Amino acid sequence: MKPKKKRLLVIDANSLIHRAYHALPPLTTSKGQQVNAVFGFLSVLFKTIKEIQPSYIAAAFDTAAPTKRLEKFKEYKAKRVRADDELYEQMPLVKEALDAFGIMYFEKDGYEADDVIGTIAKRTAKSKEIETIILTGDADAFQLVDETTKVYTMGKGFQDASLYGEKEVKARLGGISPSQVVDYKGLRGDPSDNIPGVKGVGDKTAVQLLLQCGSMEGLYKALKKDELKDVRPAALTALTKYKEDAFMSRDLARIDLDVPIEMPIEDLVWDITKAKEANEYLSRMGFRSLQSRFADLKGEKAEEVSPGDLIERIEKLREDEVFSKEIYELELKLIPVLRAMEKAGIKIDKKHFAGLKKEISKEITKLEAKIYKKSGQEFNINSSKQLSEVLFEKLELSPKGLKKTPGGVISIAAGELEKLQGEHKIIEDLLLYRELRKMYTTYITPLPGMTDSNNRIHTNFDQLGTATGRLSSSSPNLQNIPVLGDWGSRIRKGFVAEKGYKFLSFDYSQMELRLAAHVA
């Protein structure tokens, strides 16, 4: 059932990734890369999309940079144990997944994901036609709940989900409202974030005080006038002694609602039909069960009926002329042809790809050395943050004319880097490096792993996958194999015909223009 209002789903990415990593057993790809957190994240995302039915989706991440809260309290989150490297290595894979699904994500140095989420929720609240749903495993988000914002949390093992509005938050927290959550944190503290609160004041006392006084200001006003009732003497002493800690703790717990990010709501529109790279990504990661669930989200799963009943229904529709004759004369006749093509597959020369992999790896290593030499330091070339620091801080290149990401950071996408050509010799190397890395990670490395016992790759063809009516393919997308350039040509040479056969290539020559000319 569709919700009455349009919904914006905001994902607390870091929270979900951490929970997924610890909730699921190790899961690796065929290449040995651990991906249990990615699988869990997407599993929860699919479940939530199905339940919430959002019109818009955004995600928020923490960054590695120090937060402004550390300036107020140096011990903030100091007791947290660093997570496993295997978890952090999956963060870029989740971002890659969001890109594949057409979901925009935001992050901002100096701020936490909670702050970004709060800012998005606040800005969206101005439009009373949109309801914001925050997907998180963190109760800190309860402070954001109001008439336009709710929190959606998963239970243990990601099984049972709960949607929290104002009434549900009150029931969960013993009667205090969402607007009192920061006061509650100020009094009780938060051991997970090393927020001290008032020593000696626990859950029950914090709730009791807020129900009686409404806020911390009201509490200390009543304390000064000796008007607090039924409060332990030890707690009264602690409230006086740790007053500064209480207000500092509240400041630390309060989510910042004014993070400087650009967030046009139209950029957050969720359109599953535009998630063109999604199936290819799921296939590459080996997430077969998620591919099935994604098809379900797209409405591709059919109702279970007997073949006899199905034939009767189709015949009835045909008699009523619901179907055009083109369906019978073209589309339906094409189905067995496409099935035969899928079943036959296309053969590749694994030795050829192995040679390409070895050769391109050497070229990439040489380029890395050249980039390090020209930059004067070694760094992670694949890290947008580190590359940006090298280009605009170390080498002092001007970012004038370059676009910014939604998080307000200067974009270093390929199209933007091209604008810097001629500014420094390193740019040519970076563009070539990215091109070779794409060839390596998208085609040369994964394709040999997608073959059957006969070295043939079997793609999936979609008759209705494009608005123009052209065929599309996925898992893998064989229509996306590069045509231009030396490496594109060499990759195509890896696709071979059986002995005694040759490939014959046909292509329409400006089909649309010729049709238009004919009609005119």
CATH number of 345-450+482-520: 1.20.1060.10
Give the residue among 10, 156, 9, 14 at the shortest CA–CA distance from 90. 14
Secondary structure of residue 106 in the 3-state scheme: strand
- Which amino acid is it at 73? F
- Banded pLDDT at 325 (limits 50, 70, 90): low
Report the C-alpha gap between 408 and 404 in whole angstroms.
Answer: 5
Best-predicted range by mean pLDDT among 169-173, 438-442, 482-486?
169-173
pLDDT tens per residue, range 10-60? 999 999 999 898 888 888 887 778 899 999 999 999 999 988 999 999 999
Distance of CA 38 to the CA centre of its chain: 10
Residue 302 clears pLDDT 60, i.e. is over it: no
Q: Running DSSP on this structure, what letter comes out for residue 255?
A: P
Classify domain 6-178+260-265 at the CATH class level: alpha beta
pLDDT tens per residue, range 119-146? 999 999 887 789 999 999 888 999 999 9
Q: Show Cβ contacts of residue 6 under 8 Å, excluding neighbours closer than 6 positions.
A: 55, 56, 129, 130, 131
Residue 312 clears pLDDT 90, i.e. is over it: no
- Banded pLDDT at 438 (limits 50, 70, 90): confident
Q: Show Cβ contacts of residue 424 under 8 Å, excluding neighbours closer than 6 positions.
A: 374, 391, 395, 397
Render the burial of 91-107: b for 16+ CB within 10 Å, e for the rest: bebbbbbbebbbbbbbb
Cα-based distances in Å from 17 to 41, 48, 186, 353: 6, 15, 27, 34
Query: pTM above 0.75?
Result: no
- Homologous superfamily in CATH for domain 179-253: 5' to 3' exonuclease, C-terminal subdomain (1.10.150.20)
pLDDT tens per residue, range 153-192? 876 666 667 899 999 999 989 899 999 999 999 999 988 8
Q: Domain-by-domain residue ranges, the chain? A: 6-178+260-265, 179-253, 304-341, 345-450+482-520
